[in-house]
Amino acid sequence: MATALRERWTSRATFIFAAIGSAIGLGNVWRFPYLTYEYGGGVFLIPYIIGLILIGIPWMVMEFGMGRYFQRGAPGVFEGIGKKWEWLGWWPFFAAFLIVTYYTVVIAWCLIYTVSSATVAWGVGQAGVQGAEGYFFNTVLGLSSGPGVLGGLQWPIVGMLLLTWVIIFLIMFRGAKVIGRVSVWGVSVAWAFLAILVVRGLTLPGVVEGLNFYLDPNFSALANPKIWFAAFSQIAFSLSVGMAGMFAYGSFVTKKGDVSNSAVITSIADTSTSFFAGFAIFSTAGYIMQALNIPIQEVALRSMGLAFVGFPVAISVMPALNAFIGVIFFLCLFFLGLTSAYFLAYGGVAVPLMDKFGWGRVKASIIVCVVSFLAGLIYATQGGLYWLDIVDRTASFYLLLITGALACIVIGWVFGAKKLREYVNETSDIKLGAWFDWLLKVIAPAGLLFVAIYGGFAQDIATPYSGYPLWAASIIWILLVVTLVVSFILQAIKTRTPAGGEIEERKVS
């Protein structure tokens, strides 16, 4: 058997579904619709689509294209550009690792809620309206008074977390082949469930009012720089770029495979999923407003609040199909999350380790799953929600934006945007023009750094993030520095199989 043989997607469709699965996730449901409502209604699509074209798509083309060129995950790609750049592939590896440790805990909550929705455990009718918040914070999380009080482990969360990791292991240890096939199903099921939720939402009373809040355009919002920050950071988060994983997914594409069209399809599918999810969320919100006679401000519409308080309230007061819709909603979140979680665990964390140390897939998968499960236990404690929030800020905001901007700069200027473009154009359906070079070299990194500085540093340095005590908010800076230092240490260790660049495809014998 040829030793240097890279694993491959079984078809172009499985690659695209795997990429779509990694991009669509909880953020499409609980971030995008809310941001749209908050920042100008339908007008939010303007900065979002502009950002997608200027930053998001070039970034994804870059990750797929570079992964395919060097046939390696993120660290191998940067090592291939020059040994001194390898750290820049390890830094986002830590973003992937940190994110997957808590993302899987949220998936575990979804599993708990899938079970408790079957009986609407927080109560039906008015009881449920009053009970939903307490059920989440007290019963499920047992939330403590602050990040300094960890309390004990919440065993149902630990159990579901273990189950989640067993499922991830069973998918990832067989590599791209199985990941591709599972993604086709996972994405299809998530979309089907989302469609059920949209139909249910649109057939509830109050739908017009709810959708008005979602989409009613407010053109003056475009003048507010915040709407642009919000759009750019949501694009980066939603496309799942900047997490090391897309390099690995690109490295499983054959030498004849398309890159740019796949990136465009993935981006369009992700954006459409977000837009579509907004119909489910805001039609349901319109119903809550009408049923409880409350203003929209009192409906929990974003983040965990939406999933684990707002939607449960809706389930409690729906006129029919309550438990059914509850189960569908949480299973939908589960599938959305799962396809992103194994992307992070395999493409973001395991593949770089396999490339670097020559580990086999099974060994890498066992180590990654066990270590990530154990690291995730901190979020299964009573203070876990606070830690989750702090680590989320570190990884999915700062690490994502900073390493993304640096990657665009190094690939654009050192490797060469033109070289990448010409390489990608050789085999891609969509041919990129010279404009691509400038987007990658200047516009994308400038946009990302702008968001990190004005939307992040400027605030978090002035006042500790989210009102946490200084020591807790400082964990952000400590994690950024520690992961950077360890990235350099990993760079110093000799690589087992250095990336060659344009490695020949060999036949399996």
**Per CB under 6 A, 23 contacts ligand PHE:** yes
Helix H or strand E segment including 391: helix 384-392
Which one, of 174, 335, 345, lies nearest residue 244 by Cα?
345
**Per CB under 6 A, 344 contacts ligand PHE:** yes
Q: How far is CA 354 from CA 75, 173, 242, 328, 364, in A?
A: 11, 12, 19, 37, 6
Smaller CB distance to ligand PHE: residue 27 or 326? 27
**Per CB under 6 A, 238 contacts ligand PHE:** yes
| From candidates 55, 107, 243, 291, binder to ligand PHE by CB under 6 A | 243
**Per CB under 6 A, 340 contacts ligand PHE:** yes
Residue type, 399: L
Which one, of 179, 235, 105, lies nearest residue 351 by Cα?
179
Which one, of 126, 190, 142, 91, lies nearest residue 385 by Cα?
142
CB 503 within 8 A of CB 99: no
Taking the complex as a whole, the smallest distance from the CB of residue 32 to ligand PHE amounts, in Å, to 8
Question: CB neighbours (10 Å) of residue 297?
Answer: 7
CB 279 within 8 A of CB 207: no
Taking the complex as a whole, the smallest distance from the CB of residue 498 to ligand PHE amounts, in Å, to 27
Residue type, 281: I
R_g (Cα) of the chain, nearest Å: 22
**Per CB under 6 A, 240 contacts ligand PHE:** yes
Count helices and strands (H / E) in the chain. 27, 0
Round to whole Å and give the CA distance between 430 and 260.
6
**Count of residues making up the chain:** 509
Window of 164-172, 235-243, 251-259, 319-327 that interacts with ligand PHE by CB under 6 A:
235-243
**Per CB under 6 A, 99 contacts ligand PHE:** yes
Residue type, 352: P
Taking the complex as a whole, the smallest distance from the CB of residue 342 to ligand PHE amounts, in Å, to 10
DSSP state letter for 455: I
**Per CB under 6 A, 273 contacts ligand PHE:** no
**Per CB under 6 A, 404 contacts ligand PHE:** no
Instruction: Give me 211's structure tokens.
Output: 């959708």
Taking the complex as a whole, the smallest distance from the CB of residue 434 to ligand PHE amounts, in Å, to 30
3-state secondary structure of 325: helix
Residue whose Cβ sits closest to ligand PHE: 25
Taking the complex as a whole, the smallest distance from the CB of residue 403 to ligand PHE amounts, in Å, to 12
Window of 79-87, 233-241, 417-425, 462-470 that interacts with ligand PHE by CB under 6 A:
233-241
Window of 112-120, 139-147, 204-212, 237-245 that interacts with ligand PHE by CB under 6 A:
237-245
Window of 47-55, 238-246, 291-299, 463-471 that interacts with ligand PHE by CB under 6 A:
238-246
**Per CB under 6 A, 26 contacts ligand PHE:** yes
Taking the complex as a whole, the smallest distance from the CB of residue 395 to ligand PHE amounts, in Å, to 9
Site string for ligand PHE, 186-225 (x = CB under 6 A): ----------------------------------------
Taking the complex as a whole, the smallest distance from the CB of residue 101 to ligand PHE amounts, in Å, to 12
Round to whole Å and give the CA distance between 231 and 112.
32
- Total interface residues for ligand PHE by CB under 6 A: 12
Phi, psi at 76, each rounded to 5°: -65, -35
Residues that bind ligand PHE (CB under 6 A): 23, 25-28, 99, 237-238, 240, 243, 340, 344
